[in-house]
Amino acid sequence: MKKFLVFSLMALMLASVLAACSNSDEASGEDSSGSDVTTLRMTWWGSQSRHDQTQEIIKAFEEENPDIKIEAEFTGFDGYFEKMAAQASGNNLPDIMQQNFGEYLNQYADKELLADLTPFVEDGSIDVEGVSDTIMESGKKNGKLLGIPTGTNALTAFYNKDMLDAAGVDVSDGQWTWEDYEQYTTSISEATGEYGARLMEPKNLFEYYLREKGKTLFNEDGTGLGYEDDQLLVDYFERNLELEEKGAIPNYDTIQQIKGVEDELIVRGEAAFDFRWSNQATALDSAAGDKPIGMTLLPGENNSQGMYLKPAMLWSISENSEHKEEAARFIDFFVNNIKVYEIGGSDRGVPIKEEIRSELSADLSETDQKVFDYIEMVTENSSPIDSNFPPESSEILAELTKIDELVMYGELSAEEGAEQFRSTVERIMSR
Amino acid sequence: MKPVPPNKKLNTGNQNVTGYAFISPFLIGLFSLTLFPILYSLYLSFTDFDLMGTPNWIGLDNYQRMFTEDPTFWKSMKVTFFYAGVAVPIRLVFALLVALALNKVVEMVGLYRTLLYLPSVVGGSIAVSIMWRQLFGNDGAFNSILASIGLPTHSWLGDPDTAIWTLIVLYGWQFGSSMLIFLAGLRNIPKTFYEASSVDGAGPIRQFFIITIPLLTPVILFNTIMQVIQGFMAFTPSFVVTNGGPVNSTLLYVLYMYQRAFEYFDMGYASAMAWVMLVIIAIFTALIFKSSEHWVHYESDAK
């Protein structure tokens, strides 16, 4: 009897430990009631307004598809891809994953973590009829369709109209040079006593600056930098250094304390310009109260060469998903159901479907109207996006940010910074 | 119990099985959740594992890269040594002083103890770190207080020279667990020693140095070792409060390791870093133990 007790105890322990260790797929399969409800996991990054909207979109989807239940996991952009990396290593990526074009899509493509969506598009379960080829192309890598763009996006110079008026500045036609930018930020900050602009984020803006000068960040085959002359990066650094010295833009110590898009300087009326993605207009406007926020092209003599349309983000299905068909149904819903955009507006970019756009245009919110008009403007003044991001680019871009910080804090000169960036890239690429 | 004749073997097999059955949860946990990952990370440190693909053996490349080609590694090492070297003594001294004060309290001792221990209970948590970020932010409480008494404010977290100090203060402020252990040690010192010495004319200061400190040395040793290990392994404060910035001035070793692993998918390198840290901590612990022969007194030592 005693022996029996002991062994049953042991068996129990073992069983419970094994159950805990085994990759329990409780998140999938049938729920306890025994009806055929499939549970999908879905992840995204974003601001609080996006979290609220997306959960509403999920509700709308579940109402129409009672056989699918979606479990949501969401965070801000910081930390999102770290979390995903951990899940990827455990072969535990969510069924539906919000992906980012460029460095991350290429990295995931490189590791073959995402499902090829071509069959779903071919058999019509994801209906992308009439979406322009350029847009669909951005979700492709190595001949596979790895993500469906959620909408169109572009870099934007957001500006506070009142503050520009105070200095007698008008940039609404998007015709302005870098010299204008320097002059305007200085005069605005003198006129208002606030900052003329937010400090630029090098990740996107140095790349834009290169494009505007006819260069690219990475070379054709993604094996190294796409520009020869370090002076370009030196110029980029020196412009910011000069403006910071004049007090026209803040330094990193101020930027560091911003807790999210809703907390940005432009929202608080403490900066006139802010260069960021057009889909963030929703979050900016909802936080800015009655401040009139305008949108225009980034500066530069050749800004139509620098500007490009980008998929705001992509919906991808992970290779390890056991419910790819159900996941595809959600993506189809997202692309084709007007409710999605009535709830979410332009928060994930301007809808990729013509009929959705025209159906919406009847009663757009003020913010969405602004974003739609702006994307029109960029469509006419842009050149194709670069997609030659090597898998190492997330590390390279993080290093660029660190070097930018060192330069802005005066620990490195602009020349040293540009040199160090090049040698860092070479070191990372040679591994 | 009759004493068992030494030549007669006991049939203990059955009892052993029972014993093992009862400790099996711990054993299984030890092997599957501790020992295996530890050894696996040692293997990974010789590979270029990127979290997703298959690890390829690259020998000592990670270690070579670390020591010869990675200035950030040395920076994080410097930051960590400074942090541990300053913050640990501060915490220990603080904990001892508070324990001495509490030892004098007779009424409501439980309440005081709880209140003083609270910061450490919530200590390692994200919440406190977020509070710290607010406290030392440009428009934070600390600057408001300074401004209200007419002192100049400062961008504490934004200045590479002061950011690390905010973390050191945070570490010092979470003195609760060492304090409790000190308190227990103090309670263990017999009152008679103090009575006898005061008869001989020793004042409280002298009593402290000739009675309290010597008798407390075993506890001091324990606390020092625990805190040194903790100091080297600190992660949460710099991750949440400053994320290593500005300009890497608060880039603690473990935070850099985390960035390598989960931001750059450089898991092999991060594993190598973990083993280097293990060796460093082992050396420090050994040194402290070695030195303890000279300054730790156990009452049982009949010398």
A6, A86, A256 member nearest B262 (Cβ): A86
Q: How sure is the predictor about B6, in pLDDT bands with cuts at 50, 70 and 90?
A: low
pLDDT tier for residue A35 given thresholds of 50, 70 and 90 = low
Q: Which candidate, A15, A8, A425, places its Cα nearest to that of A227?
A: A425
* pLDDT the model gives residue B128: 83
What are A296-344's pLDDT values in tens digits? Answer: 999 999 999 999 999 999 999 999 999 999 999 999 999 999 999 999 8
**Which of chain B's residues have a Cβ under 8 Å away from the Cβ of A411?**
160, 247
Q: Which residue has the higher pLDDT, B7 or B159?
A: B159
| Position A30 confidence tier, pLDDT thresholds 50, 70, 90 | very low
Rg (CA), chain B: 25
**Shortest Cα distance from A253 to chain B (angstroms)?**
4
Averaged over A180-199, what is the pLDDT? 95
Residue A28 has pLDDT above 50, yes or no: no
> With contacts defined as CB-CB under 8 Å, which chain A residues touch B159?
253
Q: Is A68 exposed, middle or buried (0-12, 13-18, 19+ CB in 10 A)?
A: buried
Average model confidence (pLDDT) across chain B: 88
Residue A264 has pLDDT above 90, yes or no: yes
Residues A414, A237: contact at Cβ < 8 Å? Answer: yes
Those residues of chain B whose CB sits closer than 8 Å to some CB in chain A are 14, 17-18, 21-22, 24-25, 28-29, 32, 48, 50-53, 65, 69, 133, 137-138, 155, 157-160, 242, 245-248, 259, 262-267
Q: Considering only the beta carbons, identify the residue of B21, B53, B246 that sits closest to A256.
A: B246
pLDDT one-digit tens code per residue, A205-226: 999 999 999 999 999 888 899 9
Q: Which residue in chain B is spatially nearest to A408 when comparing CA positions? A: B247
- Average of per-residue pLDDT across A350-372: 88
Whether residue A407 is predicted with pLDDT greater than 60 in this model: the reply is yes
Q: What is the pLDDT of residue A8?
A: 61
Min Cα distance B117 → chain A (Å) is: 30
B263 and A81 within 8 Å at the Cβ level: the answer is: yes
Model confidence at B196: pLDDT above 50:
yes
A6 vs B201, which has greater pLDDT?
Answer: B201
What pLDDT score does B27 carry? Answer: 92
A121-151 per-position pLDDT tens digit = 999 999 998 888 888 888 998 889 999 999 9
Give Cβ neighbours of residue A404 (< 8 Å, ≥ 6 apart): A202, A237, A240, A417
Q: Is the pLDDT of residue B286 over 70?
A: yes
- List the single range of A27-36, A139-148, A232-241, B172-181 with lowest mean pLDDT: A27-36
Residues A343 and A145 sit within 8 Å (Cβ to Cβ):
no
Count CB pairs under 8 A between chains A and B. Answer: 85
pTM (predicted TM-score) = 0.83
Confidence band (pLDDT; 50, 70, 90) for B303?
very low
What pLDDT, in 10s, does the model give residues A85-117? 889 888 899 999 999 998 899 889 888 899 999
Judged by DSSP in three states, A123 sits in coil
Look up residue A145 and give its DSSP letter: E
At residue A262, the pLDDT reads: 85
Contacts with A85 from chain B: Cβ below 8 Å: 51-52, 262, 265
- Rounded CA-CA distance B143/B146 in Å is 5
Do residue A6 and residue B52 have CB atoms under 8 angstroms apart? Answer: no
pLDDT at position B278 over 90: yes
A-chain CB neighbours of B155 within 8 Å are 253-254
Burial (CB count within 10 angstroms: exposed 0-12, middle 13-18, buried 19+), residue B151: exposed
pLDDT tens digits along B288-302: 999 998 888 887 654
Distance CA A76, CA A258 (A): 13
Please report the pLDDT score of residue A29 as a whole number.
Answer: 43
Residue A5: per-residue pLDDT: 57
**Between A423 and A10, whose confidence is greater?**
A423
pLDDT reading at B255 higher than 90: yes
* Partners of residue B157 in chain A, C-beta under 8 Å: 253, 256-257
- Structure confidence by residue, pLDDT tens digits, B55-93: 899 999 999 999 998 889 999 999 999 999 999 999 999
Residue A256 with chain B: CB contacts under 8 Å:
157-158, 242, 245-246
Q: Give the separation between CA B85 and CA B83, rounded to whole angstroms.
A: 6
pLDDT at A269 over 60: yes
Indicate whether A16 pLDDT > 60.
no
- Percentage of chain B modeled with pLDDT above 90: 50
Q: What average pLDDT score do residues B101-109 get?
A: 83
Query: Which of A155, A84, A61 has the alpha carbon at shortest distance from A383?
Result: A155
The residue-averaged pLDDT of A62-72 equals: 94
Look at A409 and B247 and tell me if their CB atoms are within 8 Å: yes
Once rounded to an integer, what is the mean pLDDT over residues A177-202?
95
Of B21, B50, B51, the CB nearest to A6: B21
* CA separation for the pair B113, B105 (Å, rounded): 10
Mean pLDDT of A45-58: 92
Statement: residue A195 has pLDDT above 50: yes
Nearest to B25 among A13, A254, A402 (CB): A13
CB contact under 8 A, B24 and A82: no
A6 with B17: Cβ contact below 8 A = yes
